[in-house]
Structure formats: C-alpha cells, structure tokens
Structure 1
C-alpha cells in the first residue's frame, strides 16, 4: 500500500490478508463469516472474530493517520464490512475501468483509442496481484480471476496491435505468453498470425503443433475448430491472412459514410494443369478466379433510422448520432450481426455474414425488437425526442472478399435504406420473405401494411420459442414418428420407475424432426405435470443476445429470469429459487454461490479457473430438482456445442446413474461422435419419412381435406424433399404462397439457411470443391473437378472423401465417383456460385468435353 509515494507498514500476514481481501472487493460489502473463512482456510480459531475486529480497527487507524478520509473509509455494514474508496486510489479499479473502456472502443472501431486504454491498463500491473500473500499459500478464487482478466486484456491489446499491422513488434511478447500459458488458444492464434505475417510460416505451424501437443497431453483435447482452420489457411497461403487496413466508418452530418477503403490484394493465379487432347495437344484452362470473386448469400438485413426531431441543438447532433449508432452496433454484434453501413442517422446490419446461421432471420428480428424496446425506455428517461424506425428484410447479396475485409454488394442495401425512412416509427417491419421464413416462431399482426414504394410489410410483435419451450400453437401434425415417440416415453418410464438416469442421443439430418419429437414428448409431460419436469439447454443459434451461455440459459429458465435483467436481479431470483428448493441452510447458500458466476457482469469466463466449480454447481442443481421430480434435460444441437458444454455434459454423465434424469441430446450425423456416453446411453437415428407420410404432411399444410392428398407433388419435388419432414412443410408453404411456382426454382429461405449453415462449417477448400462439383454433369469424378477448379487430383480426392464422411456426398457403388447425398445440397451450393465463376467453369467444361 502506497501513500504519497511512501510504502505504508502492513503488519503481519493476517493483517495484510484482511486488507488485501477488502481491497480486491473494494466498494462491495464483504460478510464477516466469508472473511473468516478465507483468512483461516484450514479452520478458524475461537478468537477469529475478535482478531478480525482488531485488524479492522488497525486499518481504520492507519487510514486516519494518513488523513485519507473521506476518499477512503472502512465502514461497518451488515453482514460485514465495506471498504469505500475512490477509484483513482486503487490500481485494480483503474485497471478495470481502463480495460472496460478499451474493449468498448474496440467494439466501436476506435482502434487507436482502444490500444492506448488497454496499454495504460496493462502498465498498472507490477507482478501478480497480492504476490506477498500468495507466497504464504493463500489461493483465493478472486486472485485467479484477476490473473485471467489481465491475460484477456493483454490478448485484446495484442489483437488490436496485430490488426493495425504492428505484428513485428509483438512476436517476442506473444511467444513468451504462449510459453507461459500453453493452453491459451487465442494467444496461440495471435502468435501464428504474427509469425506468418513476418514471413515465418514454418514457425507459425510449429507454434500450432506445440499448443496442440500441450492440449492433448494435459487435457486430452483437440484444438478448437478456429485454430485448426487457421493452420489450414496458413498451409494454403490464404490471402486473407495478409496484413490489411480495415475500413473505418464514421457518421457525418451530411448523411454519407466516409469509408477508408482497405487496399486490395493482388493474387497471382497458380499454374493451371493442362487437359490433354487425344493427339497429345494441350488445352490450357482459364486462370482460376481470384479470392475477390465472391459468394452469393441469403441474408437478413436490419435497417434502423433515427428521427431526432427539431429540438436537438445542432452541436449535439454528431455526438447523439454516434451514441445511437454505437447502441445499435452493440446489440447487432452481440446477436451475431455485422454492421455494414452507417449513413447519417441510419445504421444497417447484415445477419449471415461471414457465415450463415440457421437462425439468422430470427436473430435479426429479435435484435430489432430489443433496439425498439431500448429506445422506448430511453424516451421515458431522456427529454431529447428520438424515434426509431426499423425493418428486417430477407434478401440475396454478394459477398466479395478483398484480403480480410468482406464487402457486401447488393442493391437491397440501398433499397432497404430508402424504404425505412417512409415507415411508421417505433415498429419492427418485416418483409414477406422474412415472415414466411419465420413460420410459427414469429408473431406478427395478421394484416399487412401497404406501402407506396414496394410490396406489403408486416408488423412483427415478438418471437415464440423462448425457453423452456414454445407455447402451444398450430403446427403440422407429427407423422410417421409414433414409434419414435413411444421409445422416448419408454426411456422416461424407466427413469421414473427405477430412479436412475439414462442418456438418449437423437441423430438425424437437419429438418428430420429431432426437436419436434422432443417437443411432443414435452407436451405429453405437461399433461401430467406430476410425472417429470422438462428443462432445456444447448446452443440456440442466432439468439445469442438472450442465451449467450447455454448453462446460464438453463439456470435462468429454471429460476424465472427475464432477458435483460441486472446481475442484482439475477442474484435475488436465483437465491430465492434455490431457497425454495433446498431451504435456508448452508447447502442452499453454497449452491447459490456456485451458480452466481453464471450471471457475472459481462458474462462468466467460459473455460476460466472457476469452470469446474460452476459445472459442479449446475449438476448439484439438477440433482436437487430431480430429488423432487424426475427431470428431462434436453440439449439441442450437440454437434455445435463448445468445449465448455461438452465438459459439463461429461461431468453430468458420470452422475446420471444416481439421479432420476433423462438426458436427451439432438445431433447431426456429421458429428455424431460427440454424443455423450455412459453405460446407460442409447443412440437413436430418425429415418426419412415414407412417401405416404410425405403426402399426408403435404396435404395437412395445404389444408386439404382428402387424406393423403399429394396434389402438386411431382417426382422432381419428391426427389427434392427426400423424405425430410421440414423440407416437405417448407415446400408446401411455398406452394401456398406461390401456386404458380417459385421463380427459377428458388428454394424456401428456411431450407436454404439450414443447408448453407452446414456448408459454412466446412473447411474452405472442401467448400470450394463442393461448389465446383455442382458444375459436373453426371458422376462427380476427382479428375473432372480438379480440372474445373484448377486443383491437383490428390487435393480434390481428399476433399471429396471428407465431404462423403460428412454425409454431403455419397460414394457410388463402383467406388470411382460420387453423387450428392440430397438434391437440395447441390441446389444451395450451386446458388452460392457467382455468375462469373459459373461462366468460367462452363468454358473450362466445354474445353474438357472437346478433348
């Protein structure tokens, strides 16, 4: 402790420990019982409370002697003490403020300001926090959390520096960090990028192998997909890894966005293998398209426009617009959107860039609803009149990649911007394609709003599907799944009857009805509420605003927490819910303490030092709930689960045999190996529907009375449906709205997104090979695809084998060629090819056919 540059005498270890604990919890009440427990972790003496009171008196005397009041005071505050201190007096508080400011600046694109704040925050550290106490054996969780926060801030700073092109200056610092923290994959990623940009490709690959070995040897874990993809991109000399200057957007009063463009990266085409003619004469294929050719995507565009009225002072307009834009940017990026335009009083975000997600449309609508509610609350608290206009449109765009900076190309961006200015304010307006894509999950007014400048719009009022399960609404019938539903009920009967848990993994392609089957089980359970309780967790794509952490979503749903509640409200509700479950004893207090990190400000550190304690607390919570009533825990999309959720499920699997809990997880066949296993685990695969079931489902959606009516189901359409119930429903809905047929055979938006999201999870090379394979007529042979895409036959053969393992291609019986596993996969992959790529490939295909 320093005062006026002089070190103050701190006394013995116990006195330093009391003062240190109060300082790391400055401006927060610390319970006396809690302090006694951490100061004497091996067991407190009978005089501990008196010794603590004497130490508090000594600290107060020390503060009075240095005349630090009123900026620093140690107060008695039930149930313990409160060290009230000015932020400027404690390095820890200054560090937290600067780190917070730096991250906010990074999120707003103010990179120079961010690096200054983060560097200033890091300079406050002079070694481990309370180093003299840790040398005595003290191991407080808060100290480990502080070290994690320091490392995260260091990574934020280094990432900003590398993005600014200063990779040469930080290679040594990154190498030292990775050596000291061999399990930090983000630090390894930054080191690999910095080394590659310095021309040290071999060293970058060695850094990856070093981290992979540490993870495998110490934790038996493979690196994350992001790190594996980076290794692949380095091996392929991906041009997007080259240093670029990111474009910066700045709001101006003139209504235009000033953009500093990123420099384009010129690429030299690889040598193209020649296709041999019969007479030995060679025909050189045209050069392969550069990385800037682009990709067509179906996205949802959120457009917001602010009306500031006439009462705002001209000098306040710039700051006000910047604040409004920052608020929209924060909400959009939190939900997975990418801000592509800031023009005057308008902000536009695209959902589906750079990767498609199955729930992009719902994420865009939810973000619009959150922005609407946020500014409605602002109007009540701020006298400045600000109204907001919002629209969500589903449109096709072209993504062009120049280096690392994606560029969105579409007239829809300008069209949405022009139309939103004429819409009524404080309302979320959606286009017909968005309304149709949302289906039963979207709540809107039944009557469309007619405009003079385009097709009708709809007023969106909310979303269904928040945990634990959606309300009962009209849905197509569950067909050809009676036997599967009986199997689920039998598993639950075993759990209820024997009092021991079971694990069931439902495996099926996207749209095969896994979630719908579990929903039907939940409906049956609700009819007999005394039989079991249904809880849900898992990855909820695109709705990250509400459920960033699957375990947080699980506990929040059980405790009755609403979206957007404060940490204080969360603590109160979780405490009350746990007390209602376990009473007021020490067990309830311990469980509450273990669950509260889930609701820490800014979200818990997933994978941090307290992750094991959090997982154990959630398992204890499920055990307590199951002690009153058997539990059905549903984990959706296990194939997309992160390592944190998988570790939790592994811990739960080890305990499941002792508690009446049925764990049902749904997974895609591409990653069925990630299923949770134990002695009581079963895997169940959902088959495709029969032709009769497809006809029945088709007729029910078209509201036809005749049983099994298949009017309009042509053989081609039967082939595209392929026994998939979701495909049958979406194609039938498309026929309802477009009885004359979709233009150019366009796929329903929901089907497109499901397949596009699967393709976006492929390795870059595999995805390009799959798209090029759509240009082949007949069997997909490696030699033909290699000639079309200007790749070696060995590379193409490896990619085709990988696509077959992911159930996107099927190997033919003769073993020489492949076909698409489903016609819709080919349709989506082909639709993503730009016209320039298609025409170039057609010319190469013509040259090959002439050989």
Structure 2
C-alpha cells in the first residue's frame, strides 16, 4: 500500500485486474477489519455525476473477482467477507506494509524515549524505507483522492520528522541536511520541519541561511493561512539571532528539545540533559499563563519568552486576488516629483485603484482593494498605459526635463490588511510584490511589463509580446478588438437584438416609454450587446437619438458620472474633454431645448456640476439634479425617439437606481426606450425591479454557444482570402478547435468597453464583416455586398 498497490504471494505478484477492481481493494485495505457499506464503495469509486446505473452490480463483480484472486492459494489469512451492509476485508497483523510501518515507527519512538539513538534511527529509517512512493500511488494517479489517504501520508511525514529529530540529537545534521531542504520545499507549512532545518543549518555554520529559512516559512504562513509562526519557532529564531550556546550539542547524547510527534511529555521530561548545557528554546505543549507562576508554584525558567508580536485588532486581514502596479520615475526635480505624484494618484483613483504606498520616486498602487472586480487587471494595465503616456512626455507649461518612467503590473493572491472604519491605505504582503519588483527591475525606460497572470486576464483587451529577456510580457497597446469591436460580427445574439428592435418600433408607434433590463454574468457580453444595438439604431433609416452612460465601480458620485456621459453623448463630445467645452455645449443644448428663461436658469443651475464636478457651485440636492435631467430628457424626446442606455446599473447608488426605474413614469406619452444592463445582483438588490411599470421586459444573456463560435470560425476560414480583415481575420491565427480556443474567441466576441464609444466604437462595419454577419445569422446579404 505504501506505493503502487501490490499483493504478493510468495515471490509472485497477484493479478488484481483493472483500475476499478484495484480501487475496490485499496478502499477495503484502508478500512481493513471494518465493514464498508456498498453505498460508500459506489461513492468512492465514481464521481457523483458519473455513477452508472449498474454501479452496485459492478461492485459485486469486482468483489467476487477479488475474492477469487486473494483465495487462489486455497484460503489464506486475508479473507474478503460479505457482511451487511457491504463488505469487510479481514487482515491479520503484519499482512500489510502499513501495519509494518506503524509498528516500526512506534518501536523507534520507544527507543528514542529510552535514549537509544542508534536503535531509534535504525528503526525509523527501516520504517521509511517501506515507502515506494505515495500511498496507493497507482490509484492516486488515476484521479482517486480519498480522505482516508491523508492520515497515511501524514504518518510518513511525522515519522520523517522523528527520524530527523533523532539524527539531530546524534549530531548528524550534515548527513540529513540535503534531505531536510528537499522535504521543507515540498511541505512548507510544517513548522517542526522548518525548525529542524534551521537548527541543521545553524549547526553547519550557515546562520544566514537558517534565518532565511525562517523568513521563508513565515511568508508562506502569512500568505496561505494568515498566521504568524508559532511561539516556539519564533523563540528558535531569537536563539539563532543571539547565537544561543544551547543550540550547539556537546556530546552525542545531547537532547535538543524540539518535541517528538506523539511523544508523551513525561517521557521527554525524563530525558537526561547534561547539567552544564543550557537547552535550546523548547516547543511548549500548552500555552503558559501570562500571570507568571505555574499551578504548582514554580516558574519554568527554561522557557525563553517569544518576542512580542504586535496585533492590530482593529484591522481586517483577508486573502484576495489583486493587481499590483508599481511605477518608478527617474530624472526628476521637485516640481516634476509633485506633478508625477498627483498624476499617478489621479489616474489610479479614476480607474478605481488605491495608491497604497510611495517612497521617493516609486509608487505602489493596488486594484482590487478594498473591493474587487472582474476587471481589476484590465484597469491596472489601463492605468499603466495612461501614466506612462502622461509622464513620459514633458509638460510644455514647465521647464522640467522629460520623466523616465518604468511600470510593472502583477496579478495574484496576497494577504491584505485594512481598517474597515477609515480610509487609510491598506497594507499587503506576499510574493506578488516581489514578483512585481522583479518585473520592474527588468523594465526599460518607457515600457510596461506584466506577469503571466496579468497577461492571461487582459489578453482580450491588450496586445503583448514576450520581452527579450524572457522576463514577463511587454505591453504593446490596446487591441484592435478592444477599440473597434464592430469589425467582428456579433453572433448568437440576433434574436435578442430583434426583440429590442421590435420594442423600439413599438415605443415609437405607441408613444409610450418602455424599460428593458438586460441581465448577465460578468464577461457574458452585455456591453458588446448594447454597442451592437447602438450601431443598428444609428444605421436605421429613421433617426433615433442614443444617450448612453455607464455606472462605474468605486466612483463616489455615480449620478453625476452617468448623467455627464449622457450629456456628452447627446452633444457628441468627449467626456474627458475640457470643462469649458462641456459647459458651453450644455448651455447651447439647454438654450436649444428649453424656451422659458426661468426654466433655462433652473436647468443650468441644477446641471452645472455635470460640466465640471470639481468646480465650486451651489449645493443642489441629488433629487433636484435628477428632476432637471428628466425634464431635459423629456424635451429631447419631444423632438424624436430616444434610446437611453445605462450600463452596469448594479454598481450605481440608490438615487440613480430609483431614477432609472421611474424614468418611464416621468416621461408619459413619449417615445423613450430605456435599456439597462446589470449583473443578477440588481434583482437581488431590488426583487420587485420594474414590476410596477406597464411596459417592462427583463432578458438574460447566455454565454455565446460553442455551435455559433464553430460556425463563425468555419466561415471565416472559408473566406480567409476573400477580404476578411482586422479583428475578424485575427481570429483565424489559430486553427485549434479546443475548448480553450473557444473560450478565447468567446472573450473576444463578448468583450466591450466604454472606451469604444470614444475611440472608434461608432465606426461602420466593412462589407466583408457584414457578409460574415449575414452568413452566421442566416440572413440574406445585400445584393450590392454593402454593409452600411
């Protein structure tokens, strides 16, 4: 059992049959001399979702064949019995290597307790030599992972620690050092092993390596389980720092008290320790009372108190995936340093990140703290691109020289500590920061390097190539698919888009507002869906005004943010443009739409914050701002049909959510189609969403099907040489039809961004892409081949 499962009769191996039959025997051996229910065997031999109808019959046949194989010698001591509610394998002592292993380990521990180090070492080594690999290695390799295997594997590690303990006490630290290092590398969370490695390294004259071993295990413990090392291990570290003489043995019989696994405390206390040798800091079996004396009135003078570890009780500590962005600047004066710091903080915070620390000309920003999102890595890379472009060119308004910028982004799991009650910067710890620093050290001036995890998370939006040093990936820029997704036809969404087209026609015909809520999980393609809707509306013969806005996470004032998007959408200007331009367009729009002078003044006063949120203005309640915008929207709708698009409403505040739901009631008799996209959390947050409206519809977007993707790829390949260009052609770079390839194509087809509306998102499809679209959706292409 201690390795691949084998049954030996004499000098010959018994044929145990196939995997299922061998697995049945392995399960019975792990539960030897106990009845194993038939239902338990079925659950252990098959995954829950793949249990065949004849499972019990297969188990019966396997047991029957095993019974014949085990009793082929005319009846041995190992007997497989049928006993309700299942089966029992009767095994006599000494018939399995597991029993021999436990017997030798107990004998070795007993010899160690008696002080016979040579016999203890010999017995423990013999026990460990019984192992030919992981327990039931052939079954584990086939995918079987039973909980009964865990204590068997742990028993080997316990015995290995006992063997190392005996060898250390015998002064054989050099002989076991290499094996200790290999074992600690594979079992980094076992503190006793780490303590033994530290002790062996220290006795070998490698004090620095011993301390490094402690720091390594501490980092692992903090990252994986959020715990500091035990007091015993910290005491050992302190003893190494102070070069405690008790760490070096005098004579072969010195006892270094790193507690034996399973060794009773009274047996350990009886071990002879030379009076002239002060023992090393022990591993306490229980916590000492902080009040001082023990219950018997005597103080334990042998205990070396562990150094005090500060505890931040008011902080929250949790493990989470984040994206870390590190920026390093060179060649800066004081003014440039201030400008760089302000620009970095502004860009990071505008994209929902947090500047966690800055030292001199190095800044650390985190995306995913304190709130995480699916696009943390994407926002981190976008921030890196913006920061590089902002700082990499000198500001013409000052005399500072150009700033040399190096940027690195890494994504992974860290331990985050933060105060939930205040806005102080969070602290993080983990190897992720070391990885990001390593990337930064290899990043040339003006470039951005990312780790493999970041590249995988953002490959549908960002173009990369492998860096020359093979250290990370270099950012090239945003993908064409990301900036001009309309070159790739929309697939598997035609029926949903047709429903919205019909509702828009109905809204226009009845003159009644409609609310459509499009729900979907992250990454399913909600943004891509509404972008295609906007494209089709814009291409329709009858003019329809489209006003689009998106609620962004981590934005304090989502009302102003979304309404500003809609205002700029109406005016046809960039939301990131100069405040003066936005203000001028707002004034022109209000003067054009509102006739009454008093109403103009009221609307401009309420909506002044949309032009320049940072500018001081009269304190206008949010409800009044929304009422003014609703009035202005009504004036727009009186001049023609309007489609209002609000994306990601699930992250908006209650004021905006209430306003959007009530918008159809505020605009009676007007041709307004309100389209909302959100994750299912919106319905959990508002269970009665839209139920009070007369004209309301809710639809769920499903992931793009494999069938649609296969049809798209098949057609694109058939037209490879007939004019398919841009992102559509880029999908043909790989001919792999695997599930991973489909997932990649699905991400490309479903991806979307608000940047599309600003950077080429409204561009028309070319004729070839439109022909592709018609082929996929089985619609006739225009006779002239045009797709406008």
Normalised to the residue count of structure 1, the TM-score between the two structures is 0.43
Considering only CA atoms, is the larger Rg found in Structure 1 or Structure 2? 2
